[in-house]
Structure 1
Amino acid sequence: MLKILLIVPAYNEEENIVRVCRNIRENYPQYDFVVINDGSKDRTLELCKENRFPVISLPVNLGLAGAFQTGMKYAYKNDYDGAVQFDADGQHLPEYIDDMVNEMKKGKDIVIGSRFVNEKKPFSLRMIGSHLIASTIRLTTGFKIKDPTSGMRIFNRETIKEFAEKLNYGPEPDTIAYMVKKGKKVSEVQVKMEERIAGQSYLNFSKSVLYMLRMMVSLIFIQNFREK
């Protein structure tokens, strides 16, 4: 049986963190998990300690990339076979991890939990960015990813090592595209995701637009200058 770690970056998730981690611990004990408290200003860290959740607390807010790399360093140091990027807001459902692990066992380096393998992507304002990013990835790599903005992904042992040791490896679509260009095998499996129940996403409308623009610039220009 593979040794799997769920990396749970958390910034000001006091309204969600207990529910999310208890669900993993009580219903999916076959997976280990670690909360990366990303400099939260609320009671996230306190609640993790009260409930004895495994937690690494960063002294300042590093953002998703820094928090996730911290989790990957932990996964690499502790010799995990796979590491799952898993949101602290309750949108990701652990019942789909088995499918992702089974896909990884087929020789995949990265498996994306995709909302759109078997279901059609809606053409809505919310999904315009996803459509554009998916089209740009296909244009620049020749590889089709149906749900590039999904934040639920599993990485195999070799990929964990890369994320742990190298800088500028954020868990974002541009890095996934870079991995494709390097010859990594990427796949998608169908999952469902819940809406956020409590708390507020850091991505409001203006931040979502800036995020999309940053991804487009990175995919079209910056990725061409990264080492293969």
Structure 2
Amino acid sequence: MKKTGGEKDGKRVLVIVPAYNEEESLEHTVKELEYCLAQQSRWIFDYVIVNDGSSDRTRDICKANGYPLLDLPVNTGLTTAFQTGMKYAYRSGYDFAIQFDADGQHDPQYLPALVEASVEQDANIVIGSRFVNQAKEFSMRMIGSTLISAIVRMTTGVRISDPTSGMRLFDATMVEKFAQENYFAPEPDTIAYSIRIGARAVEVPVTMRERFAGSSYLTATKSIMYMMRMGASILLLQWIRKAR
């Protein structure tokens, strides 16, 4: 995988970038990612693109630019794409793995802070949160996020202000679980489940941006259904999962 810095303090971090039909934003995202991580001086960062069976030029762009690539032949969805990256991270012995969007919404300048929070606070999961220092805007999506936060707190006793954030760091313990357990998904219900079985999760403040190009697959209706599904999973399904 491609390194963005030289030998530093020995901690190795893999940034996993799932990409499905991101031809318009991928080059911009990777260029910024490489630049920001090259500026930091403490950690050893690598990254890998997981092409999730894209039907556009995503794969061709990765090949043309020499991006590190895990190439899935068909579209499998975010869970399988991310687990593919986690399996690679586990087999390669990384100390941390970070979930990072390919669409430009995530600012890579915050990635070293995620690692620092994990090391200094002994956290298994670090979430890049938009709402540590600011209130949520009024929208159906944010109402759903607030509801999930309340359910997570009710079932775990831990306050997660931005449970749907897609910028998340996982330490080696969590990397192993994602790599070996099929039911671990990069979703709020897995975060809640992990906390309940002993994982420590913390948040660090970040700022999210608009997509660099394209549009989100989450329409208003899909957002509502997603929030309802996550809430039901945390309240009901995760208890069965724990018993099993």
Same fold per TM (> 0.5)? yes
- One of 87, 97, 102 as aligned partner of 1:73: 87
1:103 maps to 2:112: no
1:154-183 deviations in Å (ceiling 9; x for gaps): 000111011000011110000000001001
Question: Is 2:187 the partner of 1:187?
Answer: no
Structure 2 residue aligned with 1:27: 36
- Cα separation, 2, equivalents of 1:227 and 1:152: 25
State the match for 1:152 in structure 2.
Answer: 167
CA contact (8 A) 2:149 2:160 kept: yes
Contact 2:140–2:224 (8 Å) recurs in 1: no
Q: Helix, strand or coil for the counterpart of 2:17?
A: strand
Equivalent residue letter for 1:55? L
> 1:8 is paired with a residue of what secondary structure?
strand
The letter for the 1-side match of 2:31 is R
- Name the Cα RMSD after superposition: 1.1
Deviations 1:54-95 (A, max 9, x none): 011111111010000000001011111100000000011111
State the number of aligned residues: 228
Residue matched to 1:140: 155
Q: 1:171 aligns with which of 177, 186, 196?
A: 186
Matched residues in 2 for 1:182 and 1:126: separation? 28
Stretch moving more, 117-126 or 53-62: 117-126
* 2:242 partner SS: coil
Normalising by the residue count of structure 2, what TM-score does the alignment of the two structures yield?
A: 0.91
Question: Per-residue displacement from partner, 1:41-61 (whole Å, max 9, x unpaired)?
Answer: 000000010000001111111
Per the alignment, in what secondary structure is the counterpart of residue 169 of structure 2?
strand
Unaligned runs of at least 5 residues, structure 1: none
In the TM superposition, residue 197 of structure 1 has moved relative to its aligned partner by 2.2
Q: Does 1:49 align with 2:63?
A: yes
- 1:227 has 2:242 as partner: yes
Q: In the alignment, does 2:99 pair up with 1:85?
A: yes
Q: In 1, are the aligned partners of 2:140 and 2:220 still within 8 Å (CA)?
A: no
| AA aligned opposite 2:113 | D
TM, length-normalised to structure 1:
0.97
| Stretches of 4+ aligned residues off by more than 3 angstroms | none
Q: Which moved more, 1:183-192 or 1:23-32?
A: 23-32
Match of 2:137 among 122, 129, 139: 122
State which of 78, 83, 95 in structure 2 corresponds to 1:64: 78
1:167 maps to a residue whose letter is: N
Q: Do structure 1's residue 15 and structure 2's residue 30 form an aligned pair? A: no
Q: 2:131 and 2:187 mapped to 1: Cα distance?
A: 18
Q: CA deviation at 1:204?
A: 1.3
Q: CA offset at residue 216 of structure 1?
A: 1.2
Which whole-Å deviations, capped at 9, do the CAs of 1:110-158 have from their partners, x for residues lacking one?
A: 0000011111222323311101111111111121100000000000011
Identity %: 51
Flag the 1:124–1:207 CA change in 2: closer, same or farther, 3 A: closer
How far 1:26 sits from its partner (Å)? Answer: 3.2
